[in-house]
Amino acid sequence: MAAPDPATARAAVYEGPGRLTVRDFPLPELGPGDMLVAVELAGVDGSEVHMFRGEIAAIDAIAPVVFGDEILGRVQAIGAQAAARRGLKPGDRVVVEARWPCADCRPCREGNYYLCDHRWEKGGYGWMRADAPPHLWGGYATHVFVPADALVYPVDADLPAETALVACSVLANSIYWTRTAGIGLGDPVAVIGPGPQGIGAALVAQLRGADVVLAGLPRDAARLALARDLGVTRTVVLDGGDGAAQLRAALGQDPAVVIETAGAQPAKDLALAAVRTGGRVVNCSVPPGPLSVDFTAVLLKQVTMQSPLAHPHTVPEALRLGQVLRARGQDVGRMVSHVFALDQAEEAVRTAGYETPESPVKVAIRP
Amino acid sequence: MAAPDPATARAAVYEGPGRLTVRDFPLPELGPGDMLVAVELAGVDGSEVHMFRGEIAAIDAIAPVVFGDEILGRVQAIGAQAAARRGLKPGDRVVVEARWPCADCRPCREGNYYLCDHRWEKGGYGWMRADAPPHLWGGYATHVFVPADALVYPVDADLPAETALVACSVLANSIYWTRTAGIGLGDPVAVIGPGPQGIGAALVAQLRGADVVLAGLPRDAARLALARDLGVTRTVVLDGGDGAAQLRAALGQDPAVVIETAGAQPAKDLALAAVRTGGRVVNCSVPPGPLSVDFTAVLLKQVTMQSPLAHPHTVPEALRLGQVLRARGQDVGRMVSHVFALDQAEEAVRTAGYETPESPVKVAIRP
Amino acid sequence: MAAPDPATARAAVYEGPGRLTVRDFPLPELGPGDMLVAVELAGVDGSEVHMFRGEIAAIDAIAPVVFGDEILGRVQAIGAQAAARRGLKPGDRVVVEARWPCADCRPCREGNYYLCDHRWEKGGYGWMRADAPPHLWGGYATHVFVPADALVYPVDADLPAETALVACSVLANSIYWTRTAGIGLGDPVAVIGPGPQGIGAALVAQLRGADVVLAGLPRDAARLALARDLGVTRTVVLDGGDGAAQLRAALGQDPAVVIETAGAQPAKDLALAAVRTGGRVVNCSVPPGPLSVDFTAVLLKQVTMQSPLAHPHTVPEALRLGQVLRARGQDVGRMVSHVFALDQAEEAVRTAGYETPESPVKVAIRP
Amino acid sequence: MAAPDPATARAAVYEGPGRLTVRDFPLPELGPGDMLVAVELAGVDGSEVHMFRGEIAAIDAIAPVVFGDEILGRVQAIGAQAAARRGLKPGDRVVVEARWPCADCRPCREGNYYLCDHRWEKGGYGWMRADAPPHLWGGYATHVFVPADALVYPVDADLPAETALVACSVLANSIYWTRTAGIGLGDPVAVIGPGPQGIGAALVAQLRGADVVLAGLPRDAARLALARDLGVTRTVVLDGGDGAAQLRAALGQDPAVVIETAGAQPAKDLALAAVRTGGRVVNCSVPPGPLSVDFTAVLLKQVTMQSPLAHPHTVPEALRLGQVLRARGQDVGRMVSHVFALDQAEEAVRTAGYETPESPVKVAIRP
């Protein structure tokens, strides 16, 4: 982390399709409940790739926006009330979560603030106007502003930054998704797509005692090798033939749950073809457009399709799992394949979007 | 019920696409565990419509087949073991269920014999070769053969045949589907499609304490009127505008569950558009081909799509509900709009398939 | 509601065992998020009976305390922020809930603020020191102070006060308890104890489609008659013989769920003896001391014992049910058998505790 | 396994309290669906200890009875139908389960044959009259008779007998109990009582990703050491002080689930005192008499008490887990501390009942 001018922050601001510029902002005034966090490492994920390409009209409507909703940092300044309530002090290491509950709506009351009724107006990190104070609402920055309501979690000082970053995003998702799917001891589970999320889901399903296979395409060889290296016990390369038969052969039976993280029509078809009668398909991908589903076939197998979003209330457990896995020699931080400086934010997003010659797994920005 | 030749049965046999002929068969020899049931009323449903049109290759592969998997009748003869185990005697009124459990497979062990691993080979009523003894494996017949393993339920002598028939098929489905959807007290529920199954699902959801609206098209006016007459408290005619807004207006909030019984793309689109965040869409229809789904929209609302099949273990409760509703003046037997003689079986199927000028709700055959 | 001195409130204050005195307090200063509610009707329940007798050491430790945690009233004054956020204005009718969530603990995050980790220090209505401003933390008073965090629900102007009061307490409990027990359509359910809570549980179980019997002792004849009058379809007087056999006879089968609201050893014994294998016993009573349980018998029947507390997030649905039932001629407000003025608060508590010749069902105070 | 007289079996027969005699029986005639299994190893558990002492009147009513309901063996002879349906042949290694489903009752239909409505009349291994053919209904014997309906599972030839025996009984219970308790990834779990079942429950909870502590008394030091050796990560010796505080200290938080396998009042008290608000206490013990429960305290914490019985449908998964754990160096077969010959069956039972100077963990008989 570069030592910043004590009174100035820098941030990579999305100005509109294809334009990501680094700007200076004054550090915000902090109220008694507020906090300022100096960013240590910020994640780049698919949402920014889509936004950068101009595919999300809602973000263009509120641009300029500081990108970044996966945020690890250290408390730089903190109001008295925030310090008391959060039990934090300057220098403490924290994860700042992308969204937080409102006080009023049904989804928040039920514990799922990623579905907040007011989410589109309310926003969150990486989804706020940057043209008014406190400006610093994104992780692609030297600092982020943290209001009283935001969710913040302490991070062990000895946890590598990459590990913490992957835990608080990828593993946090995996915990929620595998719990939603009801994955338990001995369940046969197939995960399609060996990106960070597929690898994470496979690892967390294994921690639940499931019998897991992770499937990828021939071009995913390096990712599948990384997955095995991180402890995924079984991987399979889909050879273009009968993918369901390949998954059945790997598991010794049809999967009770298929977690689909690839988002393409063949992946969805495979998921529905492979899952056993009465089983569940977990849709974790953001396909580029509508997909086709044979609902008669789905009915004859009585398949349930679930689409769990994000990771309400799972970050603390995810950080714990990051430590547990690391202690076993399975450091999920190794998924971070590329780290860029803040000035290279645009290249970071392009790399994450496969627009460069690189083959990234997880991309991050170190401001 | 016509008094049959004591030694001969008659049955409507599907010979192949478009051909349904009435044939005589010898009454079968009964083993000690077997039973012969004289059919009182048999239901015609969509499966026979599709099969008759030649759309189901698997049935053509085993034809000739006696159609009919919704069966109400009276015990005509019963083996000694069957009498002892079932507590039945000649003259007792019964429903014979379409399928029954095997002893070995996982779905049957878990209580869901409609998903039996051996279902395609094993068959059931309306899905068995008729060219070998005991021949009588379908409800479109004067008699059906009932082996030791088949599921049979007693029916009150005073329950009208039409009520019992609708209960053991339509209500039995509704019980399972609404339970799968977790519909409970006060839940806002929308049902799309006012066919027998839509009306049944609306009534059973109401019995669970849900707040229900049943939606149809302008051409469904008579069905919606019947639904209201049977006790569905709220119906809405979709006017081609914003259907989700119409459902919201009717319920005072977005539905937590949408039960989709229509099977067309606009119905599926409406279901996914209308359901609230975190809600469930229950797919109960058999669309003619694949449908399109915007999985990104599904993910952003975290919608779960369920596809419950048939009605494992719910017939006894369905028969009870038929009585309960009837006692309240809500006789579901009134859904039976057309009854045909056995010789008119082909016309019955064509009527159910809307190939005649009639506007049927539920069609039945009285042999 | 008596017209109070515009600047003074009156409240019945628990000073210590056996002492309940009516005192004047200044009306509190309201901050922008606060509200003042003029009490229309307040409920007396078992908790105050126990506290008044000096059986709850924790309340003696913080006395003086204004009693009363079931509160119906009208907004008398409201801060600007509260008005905006709550959508309320002076004159609006509301229920004020006894407890509310904190922002930090696990149970509150999971939606169950009655189990808040900080509940004993934090308190709530009827459980706060009265010797410091704003003093007015209880329903046995002309006014209650309502801070920004408290939970408040609008009440229809045409709902009788007694109906609203019983709904927001008794029915609200019943909704949570029957949901916790997983009571659904067709389930055989026995409720032991025809007090307000037993009657409420029976009614709400019926609304869920359950098949219910409500059991009482010979001395409960009037309560059982009231229950039938309110729509409970089946009641039984336990005659001192085989109670389990009586419940079985009433239901035609063993109950899947027994809701035990009586709190005596014979009631608990009956609940465990009557419930079917694999069933659930719901403990909703506060027995005077430890009870004896034969865990070997419980294990051989695999009985689950649940103890749901209070009514997190169910008041709005309860108020709706109060209206629904009333529209069917089942006005739960009829459970309010005795209403006292504020000056008679002590007599109200003694009446609720059966220390007078009266046979109360539900007791209330109209300040 | 001793080579038996080809036409004669030997079995240890319970004749009445304190009397266990070894008798010869003719080998039974096998029907086409039957099977004869030569016993390799049979488990001794608490049920036989209680029966031997004359504490179970129901068993005295049907004595003589061949004891033994945990049975590992090899197919010695098999009828043609049984061979076809089971896919077994002489020499194959199998576990024979104690109970099996009937075709008719609700609990069996729901998949829980240990709760079969007919269980007391129907019996099972170790619970059948020995005075009529086929006599051989217990594992304390050279051979057991296996009818068509009994549940039999194949066992890998390379799995040590002790491992298979502990898996099919102890681990099979643990799978069902921990699943009933809903134990999942990251859940803090306390297990009270380091007997075979406590150790097994701790290991299986860990396989589900739970954070587990196993608690015992000072006299349990050797068992706790064995538990750690088998892979239980954390154990605590209850020192007679505040046990709940000890469990909290070990876990870093209160347990969400307490599995109580000890069966004494102090253990039950500790379970209820230690479990967190909203948590579950799993009663897996058979206490000698009724225990006392403070239901008010249980209600204020909203504790659910569960009592899962035996292990319906979990033996195959248990055998798999036995292999999985063994491959990790955690061989649960090491819990078998004492093995006796068939002629020593009485000493085996007395040892399991702590009537000898031995300190057994798990006792077995090798006929």
Contact map slice: C 192-231 vs B, CB within 8 A: 204, 207-209
User: Please, which pLDDT band fits residue A5 given cuts at 50, 70 and 90?
Assistant: low
3-class SS letters over A100-148? CCCCCCHHHHCCCHHHCCCHHHHCECCECCCCCCCCCCCCCECEEEECC
User: Please, which pLDDT band fits residue B103 given cuts at 50, 70 and 90?
Assistant: confident
- The string of DSSP codes covering B180-224 is HTT--TT-EEEEE--SHHHHHHHHHHHHTT-EEEEEE-GGGHHHH
Q: For A4-123, where are the alpha helices, taking DSSP H only?
A: 46-52, 57-62, 80-86, 106-109, 119-122
Assess whether pLDDT exceeds 60 at residue B4. no
Tokens representing A11? 């941030």
Question: What's the pLDDT at A67?
Answer: 98
- A186 to chain D, any CB pair closer than 8 A? The answer is yes
Q: Which residues in chain B are closer than 8 Å to A309, comparing Cβ atoms? A: 299-300, 302
Contacting subunits of D (3+ beta carbon pairs below 8 A):
A, B, C
User: Mean pLDDT, to the nearest integer, of C288-312?
Assistant: 96
User: Mean pLDDT, to the nearest integer, of A116-124?
Assistant: 94
Q: Give the orientation angle of helix C315-327 with respect to helix C172-180, to 10 degrees.
A: 110
Question: What's the pLDDT at B159?
Answer: 97
User: Mean pLDDT, to the nearest integer, of D231-256?
Assistant: 97
Question: What's the pLDDT at C262?
Answer: 95
Distance from CA of D118 to the nearest CA of B (A): 13
Distance between CA atoms of D344 and D71, rounded to whole angstroms? Answer: 17
Identity (one letter) of the amino acid at B117?
Answer: D
Identity (one letter) of the amino acid at A345?
Answer: A
Question: What's the pLDDT at C1?
Answer: 43
- B234 to chain C, any CB pair closer than 8 A? The answer is no
- The string of DSSP codes covering B23-52 is EEEEPPP--TT-EEEEEEEEEE-HHHHHHH
Model confidence pLDDT, tens digit, residues A324-351: 999 999 999 999 999 999 999 999 999 9
Across the interface, of D284, D304, D309, the residue whose CB is closest to C306 is D304
Question: What's the pLDDT at D114?
Answer: 96
Smallest CA–CA distance from D325 into chain A, residue: A209
Q: Which residues in chain A are closer than 8 Å to B117, comparing Cβ atoms? A: 277
Residue partners of B161: CB distance under 8 A and separation at least 6: B40, B41, B72, B333, B366
User: Mean pLDDT, to the nearest integer, of D260-287?
Assistant: 96
Distance from CA of D156 to the nearest CA of C (A): 32
Q: Can you give the pTM of this predicted structure?
A: 0.96
Identity (one letter) of the amino acid at B220?
Answer: D
Distance between CA atoms of A229 and A332, rounded to whole angstroms? Answer: 10
Instruction: Delimit the domains of chain C by residue range.
Output: 8-161+335-366, 182-306
Q: What is the mean pLDDT of chain C?
A: 96
Tokens representing A336? 């971070």
User: Please, which pLDDT band fits residue B104 given cuts at 50, 70 and 90?
Assistant: confident
Q: Which residues in chain B are closer than 8 Å to D109, comparing Cβ atoms? A: 111, 313
Closest CA to B268 of B297, B237, B228: B297
Residue partners of A109: CB distance under 8 A and separation at least 6: C111, C313
- B321 to chain C, any CB pair closer than 8 A? The answer is yes
CA dist list (Å): A297 to A200, A255, A301, B289, D365 = 29, 16, 6, 10, 52
**CATH code for the structural domain at B8-161+335-366:** 3.90.180.10
User: Mean pLDDT, to the nearest integer, of B308-321?
Assistant: 97
Assess whether pLDDT exceeds 90 at residue D91. yes
Reduced to 3 states (helix: H, G, I; strand: E, B; else coil), residue A79 is coil
User: Mean pLDDT, to the nearest integer, of C30-42?
Assistant: 98
Model confidence pLDDT, tens digit, residues B145-187: 999 999 999 999 999 999 999 999 999 999 999 999 999 999 9
Distance from CA of C321 to the nearest CA of A (A): 19
Assess whether pLDDT exceeds 50 at residue C2. no
Model confidence pLDDT, tens digit, residues C250-298: 999 999 999 999 999 999 999 999 999 999 999 998 998 999 999 999 9
What ipTM goes with this model?
A: 0.96
Question: What's the pLDDT at C104?
Answer: 83
Reduced to 3 states (helix: H, G, I; strand: E, B; else coil), residue B150 is coil
Model confidence pLDDT, tens digit, residues A190-209: 999 999 999 999 999 999 99
- A305 to chain B, any CB pair closer than 8 A? The answer is yes
Question: What's the pLDDT at D2?
Answer: 46
Q: Is the dihedral of CA A126, A127, A129, A132 positive or negative?
A: negative
Q: Does domain A182-306 have CATH number 3.40.1390.30?
A: no
CB contact under 8 A, B208 and C209: yes
Smallest CA–CA distance from B321 into chain C, residue: C186
Model confidence pLDDT, tens digit, residues B214-248: 999 999 999 999 999 999 999 999 999 999 999 99
CB contact under 8 A, D109 and B313: yes
Q: Which residues in chain B are closer than 8 Å to C186, comparing Cβ atoms? A: 175, 317, 320-321
- B359 to chain A, any CB pair closer than 8 A? The answer is no
Assess whether pLDDT exceeds 80 at residue C3. no
CA dist list (Å): A245 to A66, A242, A250, B121, B162 = 46, 5, 9, 21, 46
Question: What's the pLDDT at B5?
Answer: 59
Closest CA to D169 of D68, D70, D101, D262: D70
Smallest CA–CA distance from B264 into chain A, residue: A295
Model confidence pLDDT, tens digit, residues B5-22: 568 999 999 999 999 999
Closest CA to D175 of D41, D318, D23, D16: D318
Neighbour count for residue D6 (Cβ, 10 Å)? 7
Q: Determine which helix (DSSP H) or strand (DSSP E) holds A265, and give its type and residue range.
A: helix A265-274
Q: Give the orientation angle of helix D243-251 with respect to helix D265-274, to 10 degrees.
A: 50
Smallest CA–CA distance from A314 into chain D, residue: D186
Tokens representing C214? 């409500």
Kind of pairing between the strands at A35-44 and A362-366: antiparallel
Question: What's the pLDDT at D5?
Answer: 59
Assess whether pLDDT exceeds 80 at residue D84. yes
